[in-house]
Amino acid sequence: MKDNPSTVEKGDDFETRALGIILRLIESSQISHLSEHIKVYTRKDKGYYSSFRDSNIYFDITLEVWPPNSTRSSFNYFIECKNYGGPIPVGQISKFVEDVREVGGLNCKAIFISNTRLQKGGYNIAKNLGLMLIQGESAEDFKIVLNKSSQPNFKDEIPILKPTLDTSVIDDTVSPIIKLIDDVIRSAFKELEETRSSSYNIDKLSKKEIILKAETELKKFDPEMFTLGRAVNINSLKEYLKDTYDIDIKQFSSPINLLGNCDFDANTIGLNTSIVDTKRELFVLCHELGHFLLHSSLRIGQVTYQGFEDSKKNFRTGKRDLENPKNWIEWQANQFSSSFILPRAVFLARLWLYQDSLGLSRGKIYLDDQQDNQKRFSNFVHRLSLYFNVTKTSVIYKLNDMDLINDNSRIKSVGQILDQHSDEFGF
C-alpha cells in the first residue's frame, strides 16, 4: 500500500502546480512573441543582489520588462508561492515586501500565492501596499483575493507596489506590454465572481475570458502564429474548420442586411455572397466561428432572438449597453473575431515594425488636425488593414481598444470616426 504523501510533498505539489500554471501560460501565450522585451526567470536562473545583505535574494518567478533600446528594465514582476498549515504569518508578507523593495528598483508588481488565508495584519499590509494575492485551497483550486489597483492611472491592472511607483519611466511602449502580462497572469487563476449563468444558458463571459478562448483556438489553428507574427490566412482557416470541426462554409444571397449565419444542426457557416473576397469576409467568418465555439448550448429560438433589440450606444460611457441575450451573444462573437484575427501581441509588433520603418518612436499613434499627422494615421491604418486582411474600421477599433491612439483632434475624434463607419460591421 502506498504511503500518504508527507506535508512537504503536499507543499511541493501545491507550489509546483501554482508556479507551473504561470510558467506554462507565459511560454504558450502571446507574450512569448515579445521575448526581446520580456525576460522570465525562475529561482534557479537568477538572483538579485542586495547591497544591504551583500548577497543575492531569490524569487520563485520574476518577469522583467525592457523597453526598446533600454539598458535596464523599467518594470519587474516578483512572484512567490508559499504552502502553510495555517494562516500565513504577518512576517512572511513583510519579508516578501522588503525583499522586493531591496532589489526590485522602480515599478515592481508583487504577487503572493498561498494555500491558506493571510492573518489580518498581513492582509492589510498587502492591501495597503498594493500586492496581488492568490489563494488556493488545493493544487487544483485557486482564486484571486486581491487584484485591482487603487492607483488612478492603473485601475484595471495588477497593482504596483506603492513604494516603488515611478510613472516617469512608464511610456507608450511599455504600457501595452504590461497590460498583456497582467492579462496572462490573471487568466491563470479563477477570480471570485458571481455566477455568470443567466437565462437561455448564456455565459456572460468577460472580455478577457473571450480573448483567452480566441487565442487558445488561434494557437490550435496556427501554433507558430505568435512566434512568427503572421496574419490569419482565410483559406487555411476554412480548411482547418473542415478538418477540425467538420464545418462546411456555404454562400447565400440575402436582400436583408445579413452578412453571415451559422447552423449548429447542419454544422455550416453561411457567408453572404456580397462579402466574399472582400475585407469583411474574414471578420464575418470568425464572428460565426465565435458563435460555434461559444454559443452551441444556447436555449433560445430564432424568433425570440430576433425579437430582442440591438444594443444602443451609451453616450455617457461611450460604449454599447448589453441589456438582453442578443446584445451579449453578438458582442461576444465580435470580441472573439477581433481577438482571433488581430491578436494583441502580433498586432502590436506589426505596428512597431511600421513605426520603425518610418523612424518613429514605438507606441501610441499621434492624431490631431494637422494634415501630416492625419495622413500618417491613415497610412498606419491602411497598412495594418492590408496585412491582416480586415477593414480599416476593424483596425481602428483595435487601435482604440488597445489604447494605441493619442487623439488630440478637435475636428473629428476617433469615436466619431468609429461611429461614422460602424455599419461596416453589420452586426
Give the C-alpha separation, 177 to 75, whole Å: 10
| Residue where a domain stops, chosen among 297, 313, 341 | 341
| Residue where a domain stops, chosen among 191, 219, 239 | 191
159 and 46 part of one domain:
yes
Other C-beta atoms lying within 10 Å of the C-beta of residue 87: 14
| Residue where a domain stops, chosen among 159, 191, 223 | 191
- Nearest of 234, 213, 233, 235 to residue 224 by alpha carbon: 233
177 and 203 part of one domain:
no
Quote helix, strand, coil % in the chain, to nearest 5. Answer: 45, 20, 35
Q: Which residues does 422 contact at the CB level (< 8 Å), separation at least 6? A: 393
Identity of the residue numbered 56: N
25 and 159 part of one domain:
yes
Q: Tell me, what CATH number does 23's domain have?
A: 3.40.1350
Model confidence over 274-300: pLDDT tens digits? 999 999 999 999 999 998 888 765 544
* Per-residue pLDDT at 133: 85
* Per-residue pLDDT at 211: 92
Residue 350 clears pLDDT 90, i.e. is over it: yes
Q: Give me the domain span that covers residue 258.
A: 199-341
Model confidence over 146-200: pLDDT tens digits? 655 444 444 456 888 877 777 766 667 777 778 878 877 776 664 433 333 344 4
Q: How many domains are contained in the chain? A: 3
19 and 125 part of one domain:
yes
- C-alpha cell belonging to residue 419: 461611429
356 and 323 part of one domain:
no
- Give me the DSSP letters along 322-342: --SHHHHHHHHHHHHHHHHHS
43 and 176 part of one domain:
yes
179 and 285 part of one domain:
no
Pairing, β 48-50 against β 55-57: antiparallel
* Per-residue pLDDT at 182: 81
- Mean pLDDT score of the chain, rounded to an integer? 76
Tell me the pLDDT band of 18, cut-offs 50, 70 and 90.
Answer: low
Residue 40 clears pLDDT 90, i.e. is over it: no
Determine the average pLDDT of the residues in 387-415.
87
The reply to whether 2 falls in a domain is no
The reply to whether 218 falls in a domain is yes
20 and 65 part of one domain:
yes
